[in-house]
Amino acid sequence: MHVSRLLLAIGVAAGLVVSAPYVGQVRFFIRQAFPGHFVLVVGGLIVLLLLGGLAAGVRRIRDRRSIRYGAIAAALLVAALYSIANAGANPDSNVVELFHFVQYGLISYLFYRAWRPLGDLGVVALPALAGVVVGTVEEWWQWFIPVRVGEVKDVLLNLVAIGTGLIFSLAVDPPPGDFAHLGAASRTRVRQLAAVAVLVFAAFFHAVHLGRDIVDDEIGTFGSRWEPQALRREQQETAAEWKQAPPPVAVVRLSRENQYLTEGVQHARERNRLWAEGDIRGAWLENRILEKYYEPVLDTPTHEGPGNRWPAEQRVDAERRAASTPSVQPYVSAAYPYPLYTWPWWLHWLATLLMVGLLWPTRRRHFA
């Protein structure tokens, strides 16, 4: 293991995570400086970085050119196919996701160089696990930041980027010796880092994806991070707090996201979307969710606008039209943007700790 290279990799990874709150500001600056050309600017930067990395890598290839060039081409192909398969309707989001391949390709390469002297399978397993830890921490950190997104899907994107980065690294600078086996020392390191990765991922998953299905006899079902009673307490506490210190009306990117406000805004957006599409019953039920569980979000000016409460005439009209709409099946809200899993938190952590216990290496004792 090359200690100075490992410290460099850790430093760059830490910089990537710490810079997450500022990325939104950089994107805002690009949009302001080059209106209408965000995709072109970011896409051009990606191309330049890729070409620079490819040029530097190809210069190091002196033998076995066919297989090594083929590996680089395979890495690029995997990245392209994954990006195409997961492309959404927003070009800005798509090009940002492409940038992940540059970021985590670099992270993978730096960790690979640090562990390359091991000369066994650890040169692949350890950088992959380190990348998973970095990618999970970054997504978790983003979840705490306003207008940034962090979810399991993005962790998977980072993992694919790590894989392509490792393929590139192996092609450019193959490890010495036969790395098809895992030595004893590397096995210990791999198990330790795998246990850390499991713990970090479990904490991230708990924060972002564990929640509750709240069943309301009048409305139906909707997802939330809070239990029903806890959500009502949150509503009361938020109402009292906002009377004294309302939330800012502009997005403060370098701040802690208010998850209660975010949930309320998500229901307001879903209500407005359903109303625009002519689903009056769905819009009415989303509005009832807001009135019963997120009332402070209705009347308080936020970055979403002066308020989200319907005018009295619209509310009366929606109630009348919704009452005349036959109910085919119980309403299930789709406002929550992430997959929400409702298994008990203690079961989640019990399974996590059991897995960590199985992974963590134990010292064998020899008895005379």
Mind giving me the DSSP string for 234-245?
A: HHHHHHHHHHHS
pLDDT above 80: residue 1: no
| pLDDT level of residue 61 (50, 70, 90 thresholds) | confident
Q: Between 366 and 282, whose confidence is greater?
A: 282
Q: What is the pLDDT of residue 367?
A: 39
According to the model, what pLDDT value does residue 147 have? 65
Residue 364 has pLDDT above 80, yes or no: no
In the predicted model, is pLDDT for residue 164 greater than 80? yes
List the beta bridge partners of residue 223: 213
How many whole angstroms separate alpha carbon 354 and alpha carbon 365?
Answer: 22
Distance CA 231, CA 224 (A): 8
Q: Which residue has the tokens 């072109």?
A: 40
Q: Residue 139's pLDDT is what?
A: 86
Q: Quick one: average pLDDT of 95-122?
A: 88
Burial 280-318 (b: 16+ CB within 10 A, else e): bbbbbbbbbbbeebbbbbbebebebeeebbbeeeeeeeb
What pLDDT does residue 316 have?
A: 94
Q: How confident is the model at residue 314 (pLDDT cuts 50, 70, 90)?
A: very high
**% of residues, the chain, pLDDT over 70:** 95
How is the beta sheet containing 331-332 ordered, strand by strand? 212-216, 220-224, 331-332
- Enter the tokens of residue 56: 């530097």
Average per-residue pLDDT for the chain = 87
Q: Is the pLDDT of residue 211 over 80?
A: yes
| Residue closest to 17 by CA, chosen among 133, 178, 182 | 133
Radius of gyration of the chain (CA): 25
pLDDT value at position 281?
93
| Lowest-confidence region among 23-32, 67-76, 120-129, 140-149 | 140-149
pLDDT score of 366: 42
The pTM for the full model equals: 0.84
5-14 per-position pLDDT tens digit: 999 999 999 9
Contact 239, 295 (CB under 8 A): yes
Sequence-ordered list of residues with C-beta below 8 angstroms from that of 266, at least 6 positions apart, any chain? 335, 336, 337
Instruction: State residue 10 phi and psi, 5-degree precision.
Output: -65, -40
Say how far residue 252 (Cα) sits from the centre of its chain: 20
Full DSSP string of 185-246: HHHHHHHHHHHHHHHHHHHHHHHHHB-EEEEETTTEEEEESS-HHHHHHHHHHHHHHHHHSP
Cβ-proximal residues to 318 (8 Å cutoff; 6+ apart), any chain: 275, 280, 283, 284, 287, 310
Q: How far is CA 132 from the centre of its chain?
A: 12
Angle formed at CA 198 by CA 121 and CA 102, multiple of 5 degrees: 65
Can you tell me the mean pLDDT for 234-258? 82
Cα of first residue to Cα of last residue in the chain, in angstroms, is 35
- Report the distance separating Cα 212 and Cα 227, nearest Å: 6
Q: Residue 363 — very low, low, confident or very high, per pLDDT cuts 50/70/90?
A: low
CA-to-CA dists, residue 347 to 143, 203, 343, 351, angstroms: 23, 13, 7, 6
Residue 269: pLDDT band (50, 70, 90) is: very high
How many CB atoms neighbour CB 209 within 10 A?
Answer: 16
Reported as a single tens digit per residue, the pLDDT across 134-161 is 999 988 888 877 766 677 888 888 899 9
Strongest mean pLDDT among 90-94, 119-123, 151-155, 357-361: 357-361
Higher per-residue pLDDT: 339 or 277: 277
